[in-house]
Amino acid sequence: MSAMAVPRTLAEALAVLAARPEALVVAGGSDVVPALRAGRREQPAAWLLLHELGSLAGIAPQPGGGLRIGAATTVAALERDPRVRPGATALADAAALIGAPATRTVATVGGNLVNGSPAMDLGAPLLALGATVELAAAGGTRRLPLEQFLLGPGRVDLRAGELLVAIELPPAAAPGDAAPRAGSAYVRIGGRAAMEVALAGAAAEVVLAPGGATIAAARVALCAVASTCLRAPAAEALLIGAAPEPAVLDAAARAAVGHTAAIDDHRAPAAYREAVVEVALRRALDTAVERAR
């Protein structure tokens, strides 16, 4: 019989992980349970089940602005939260696209990230929103920018005994602007209206300078076109300081494709992914700018 721990506090959970670092951590189970049932994943010798660990779920404003999102926050909560929708709209866009309502009710943001799929829907929006991840262990806590956490397909920088506990989003404010003009968006390309895995996806956050004539800050991220979700700095460089005009957005979307390293697989050929990720980003930029105005 395998060991099964259902901690009620973070300290308990971290103690379990310290003792059994190989324990399989289960939050919503929407990925791991089907994988276990289908035999794509080995039955673990130890389990750490997070469903009683209430403190790991929830969305809270940060003292200096921005949001702190508990790792066990469900995708459905992200989709509906009144702070996520205006403050981190790209994340709400993505949350609304994941799986079906039944999936979203159990799936968690932490589970989505730790899975490390290059096609995860929450990765690109969180990168575009400048997310950092908080990783706790019995011996202490560390913080990492999300781009450093994502290492490759199915691989994240989670050390033995560590648990992803929260994702933090910085405030999206233009320097010196009392009324921040920030907007973000996520666009996914797929073949179905639901239960879809991204063939390509792109997220953008745009902050307009006071007056709205130029882009003061921008982050751009892509999904399903490389071994991880990734930022596209070449696109960001073209956007920052430029006018939010179609020609600029076109050029930025085109430049982002230079960061891709897509592969052919059973879902789509690489050439298609690289072509449509540009379309996705162009549309995400349009929407982000519109939302910033």
191 forms part of the interface with another protein (CB under 8 A): yes
Distances (CA, A) of 48 to 6, 21, 30, 100, 188: 6, 10, 15, 26, 32
CA dihedral (34, 38, 44, 45) positive or negative: positive
158 in contact with another protein (CB under 8 A) = no
Phi and psi dihedrals of 251, rounded to 5?
A: -65, -40
Cβ closer to another protein: 118 or 161?
118
- The answer to whether 204 and 184 are in contact (CB under 8 A) is yes
Q: How far apart are the C-alpha atoms of 163 and 148, rounded to whole Å? A: 16
Residue of 50, 113, 165, 189 that binds another protein (CB under 8 A):
189
CB of 280 to another protein, least distance (A): 8
240-279 footprint of another protein as x/- string (CB under 8 A)? --------------------------xxxx--x--xx--x
How many other β-carbons are positioned within 10 Å of the β-carbon of residue 219? 25
Ramachandran category for residue 224: left, alpha or beta (phi over 0 → left; psi -120 to 50 → alpha): left
Of the two residues 163 and 285, which places its CB atom closer to another protein in the complex?
A: 285
Q: Does 38 bind another protein (CB under 8 A)?
A: yes
Binding status of residue 190 toward another protein by CB under 8 A: yes
Check residue 36 for interaction with another protein (CB under 8 A): no
Task: Check residue 100 for interaction with another protein (CB under 8 A).
Answer: yes
Please give the DSSP secondary-structure letter assigned to residue 74: B
Footprint on this chain of another protein (rule: CB under 8 A): 38-39, 100, 189-197, 199, 266-269, 272, 275-276, 279-280
